[in-house]
Amino acid sequence: MPVLRNAILTLSLAALLVACDQGPTFTEAEPGEHLSAGEGTVTKTDQNAFSLPLANLSPTRRLDFSVGNSFFRNPWVIAPASTDARDGLGPLFNTNACQNCHIKDGRGHPPGPEAKQAVSMLVRLSVPAGEGDDLTRSGLVAEPNYGGQFQDAAIPGIAPEGRVRVEYEPLVMTFADGHEVELRKPRLSFSNLTYGDMHPATLFSARIAPPVIGLGFLEAISDEDLLANADPEDADGDGISGRANLVWDRATGTLKLGRFGWKAGQPSLRQQNAEAFANDMGLTSHLVPTDSCAPSQSDCLALPHGGTPEVSDEILDNVTFYTRNLAVPARRDVDDPQVLKGKSLFFQANCQGCHVPSFTTPANAPEPELANQTIRPYTDLLLHDVGPGLADGRPEFLANGQEWRTPPLWGIGLTEAVNGHTQFLHDGRARNLMEAILWHGGEAAASRDKVLTFDAQQREALLAFLNSL
């Protein structure tokens, strides 16, 4: 009988926590709540839902959007080529087009067991910094033989760096009502390494490509508004201590607030795009003038390139315009009672402590269509320690090995419609939204534990809310 008594005690405590909760209860939608991106919101919900220009983008500027889309979507080729505007691929790379990672402008996924290349998942590499290492500009120390990113593809005449596989270990989480959810913990393995063994202290970070919707709005949020949510010393005692990442801005030669990437390692969309060209496709630009060849990879360095630079300023500007003006779909069913109940539970679990629902962009946004808009991205763009379960152990500028930037939640309910899967978190380990929630620890442990008290109906309501975003 002792086991039964313990189970009853656990369930009684869970019921008490729910009954005594003082969080808000939502009975109706807020005005304009369905407009995730203000006047830029679009209404498509099919597989093309993430690929539309802002609704308030003028016809003339939609032509510029289409030009940027062509460079984002179409493959780059090996140099020399008659297509000199888009040649210079590699020699080492992960994929030959932005769209191959950001599939339909959406979310990537980890490779399957038989995949020859990871494609929409990359692996970042580094080694622990020593006392004399200056990390101001790089934020890390690259692995000496393979650089800062593992490349499993190459042009003819050179071998790829190797192959990466992902295997999983099961981990079971149990709700207060006895419902079990099996999580999967990823483990990376490398084979066919071309340039010798990796440094014995190499740090690895697997990362799937995130959706690229609404990035212009995230860039437009003022530093002041983002820093207003920072609480690095947890002065208010709520257990949440978000902080900004400060990263090197190549254009200004100064440290800026990081916004993009899984650890907020990039300060601007233009630099994010230039770094992706260099590291993912081996393409240089004036902003990032070196490609992905490590100094020890002499055969890679000796092969032809597509000019200096391979990505012209005009092309980089076109791609930046495209990624800056991709729209966010409208929310669905915002006034549905089940969705409103789920929203109440989201707030009662204090998920909004990191996934901040809304911001208003300033008048001086990078594009006029992005200015003075109330947006609902459900992120604070700050770093949070989410515990050892999700840790990669790999620092990036100020981010430590357990910290990740809060990912935006807008559009998350359309992932399956756009990408045909529901694999979430930085490495795609979560196979659905509930698994993603249960992986949260650290600053989010209290929120996760609150969710673990939810019964079946509450869980369904919470997921209904998330799938409405």
Instruction: For 380-400, write each residue's pLDDT tens digit.
Output: 999 999 999 999 999 999 999
Place of tokens 């975003």: 469
Which residues, including other chains, have CB under 8 Å from residue 179's CB and lie 6 or more apart? 456, 459
Q: Where are the domains of the chain?
A: 38-468
Which band of pLDDT confidence, cut at 50, 70 and 90, is reported for residue 22?
low
Instruction: For 76-121, write each residue's pLDDT tens digit.
Output: 999 988 888 899 999 999 999 999 999 999 999 999 999 999 999 9
- What is the percentage of the chain residues whose pLDDT exceeds 90? 91
Average pLDDT for 400-416: 98
Q: What are phi and psi of 356, to 5 degrees?
A: -65, 125
Identify the pLDDT of residue 304.
85
Instruction: For 317-374, write each residue's pLDDT tens digit.
Output: 999 999 999 999 999 999 999 999 999 999 999 999 999 999 999 999 999 999 999 9
Identify the pLDDT of residue 338.
98
CB 292 within 8 A of CB 149: yes
Q: How far apart are CA 335 and CA 343, in angstroms?
A: 11
Q: What's the whole-model pTM score?
A: 0.94
Instruction: For 148-185, write each residue's pLDDT tens digit.
Output: 999 999 999 999 999 999 999 999 999 999 999 999 99
Mean pLDDT rounded to a whole number for the chain: 94
Distance, CA of 181 to chain centre: 24
- Identify any residues that bridge with 387 across adjacent strands, giving them in sequence order: none
